Amino acid sequence: MDGVIETEARVQLEGVHLSFGVRPVFRGLDVSFPRGRISVILGGSGSGKSTLLRAIGGLVRPQRGSVRVAGEDVTRLPERELFRVRERIGMLFQHGALLDAMSVYENVALPLREHTRLSESDIAAEVERRLAAVGLPDAGRLRPRELSGGMLRRAALARAIVTDPEIVLCDEPFSGLDPINVRRIEKLFTDLNRQLGISLLVTSHHIPSSLRMADQIVFLHDGVAEAGPPKEIRYHPDPRVAGFFAAELDADAATSEDGQGEEGTRP
């Protein structure tokens, strides 16, 4: 394919077929995500963006094909072996997936307590640093139910990156965030990528931020993927791809004019 990023693939899917019941999601999906780059996965609702991240994390197993993460095919590994691979991955779920019985501090500290031998004071320092990085320096004592939707996702992001994983999977990190927090998270992603060389795989509907930060855009439609640099994908000859960008950019412009897009508050 033209425009493929010339660097070693960190995550590679080959011939992936995946269905939920009779509904096919992927029909021979081939796509690779380069090491140390930001890849943004776009596509309409139900195109399989979240499922793609879950397949990479080994949370769903395709019926056919391979999903290689850092050289290991996660579709063939038993659950215990998957834990070893997942230690190299951080994942931000769409709704945070924070443990609601614990405080934000305990949630962010959990991976450190489970997988490192750091002292409690070192863990506290690390947690505070990560919470400050996502703009939640005073949220440690709060419970997840006390956070707004945007705060919840930022706290979950702090948990996903606290162990400095090689790969971070982010499912819709910008949805429901106000423009300032979109920029903040976008900068955090860029810093993580540029300073630590973390490979970021981000699903999004937020076209402006995708175009700003992505090294590669993967567009999912009809169970297959089109991948390439942002400029190439934006002006892709396939009208479905170009039409998606045009429609989403129009919607973003309308939202900005209406003053929408404020950080939502959970009921």
Partner 1 sequence: MNAIRDLGFRTVSLVAHLGRVTAFVGEIGRSTVAPPWRFRRFVAELYDVGVLSLAIVCLSGATVGAVLGLQGYVTLSRFGAEGSLGAVVGLSLVRELAPVLTALLVTGRAGSAMAAEIASMVTTEQLDGLRMMSVDPVDFVVKPKALAMLCAMPLLNGLFIVFALFGGYLVGVELLGVDGGTYVSSVEQSINFEDDILGTLLKSVIFGALVGIIATYRGYTSEPTSAGVSAATTGTVVTGSVSILLFDYVITALWGV
State the residues that interact with partner 1 by CB under 8 A. 54, 57-59, 82-84, 86-87, 89-91, 93, 95, 97-100, 110-111, 114-115, 156, 159, 169
**Rounded least distance, CB 91 to partner 1, Å:** 4
In the complex with partner 1, the residue whose CB is nearer, 111 or 140, is 111
Nearest distance in Å: CB 140, partner 1: 18
To partner 1, the closest distance from the beta carbon of 2 in angstroms equals 34
Distance of closest approach, residue 50 Cβ to partner 1, in angstroms: 10
Q: How far is the CB of 159 from partner 1 (least distance, A)?
A: 8
Contact (Cβ atoms closer than 8 angstroms) between residue 219 and residue 230 = no
| Between 52 and 241, CB nearer to partner 1 | 52
- φ, ψ (nearest 5 deg) of residue 79: -55, -40
* Minimum CB distance to partner 1 smaller for 91 or for 177: 91
* Token pair of 83 as six digits: 């834990």
* Distance in angstroms (rounded) separating the CA atoms of residues 138 and 255: 30
Q: Which one, 71 or 243, has the nearer CB to partner 1?
A: 71
Tokens read off for 12: 């590679």
* 114 versus 258: smaller Cβ distance to partner 1: 114
C-alpha distance across the termini of the chain, in Å: 46
Which tokens hold the place of 92? 């931000």
**CB contact at 8 A, 127 and 108:** yes
**Nearest-angstrom CA–CA distance, 110 and 55:** 24
Distance CA 108, CA 111 (A): 7
| Cβ proximity to partner 1, 38 vs 91, nearer residue | 91
Alpha carbons 139 and 97: distance in angstroms, whole number:
16
Find the shortest distance in angstroms from Cβ 90 to partner 1: 8
Token pair belonging to 170:
């982010």
Give me the count of residues in the chain.
267
